[in-house]
Copies of this chain bind each other. A is one copy, B any other.
């Protein structure tokens, strides 16, 4: 998908700026990351930088937790339902070596990727991860897939 806003995926905000934009604490952001809800860019020095798309992704996560009352583990479960194998057109062999295909309840970007197609891909720029920075798109994807037939 063509990005209209050039700087949308550019990692520019340090964690405190991101926290201010989101009106949450730095702690909470780091907790969400530890749970695998998002993957921030990291500098060589290990410091995090957030893009605008990261911010909007986290806004969705916040809404899910605080308004829709979906627990963090629930969100992880929902992310785990994204059919990444379909999006990336994985081979049969790749699918065999893929945790996402084996009843994982965690987002694919939390998995060990050393044995399949994903080993060469940076999850942050992977379509599976980046396409779902906006809310409600996972069900839309399921709808799209069921229309293809």
Write the residues of chain A forming the contact surface with B, with a CB cutoff of 8 angstroms.
68-71, 73-75, 77-78, 80-81, 83, 85-86, 101, 103, 105, 136, 138-139, 142-143, 145-146, 148-149
Contact = CB atoms under 8 A, between A and B. Distances in A.
7 contacts: A68-B73, A70-B73, A85-B146, A103-B136, A142-B142, A148-B149, A149-B149
Contacts of A77: 68, 70, 74, 78
Nearest to A147: B86
Copies in the assembly, this chain: 2
Task: State the 7 A-B residue pairs at the shortest beta-carbon distance, nearest first.
Answer: A74-B74, A71-B71, A86-B146, A70-B74, A69-B73, A83-B146, A70-B73
Contact of A81 (B68, B103, B138, B148): B138
Given A69-B73, A73-B70, A81 B145 contact: no
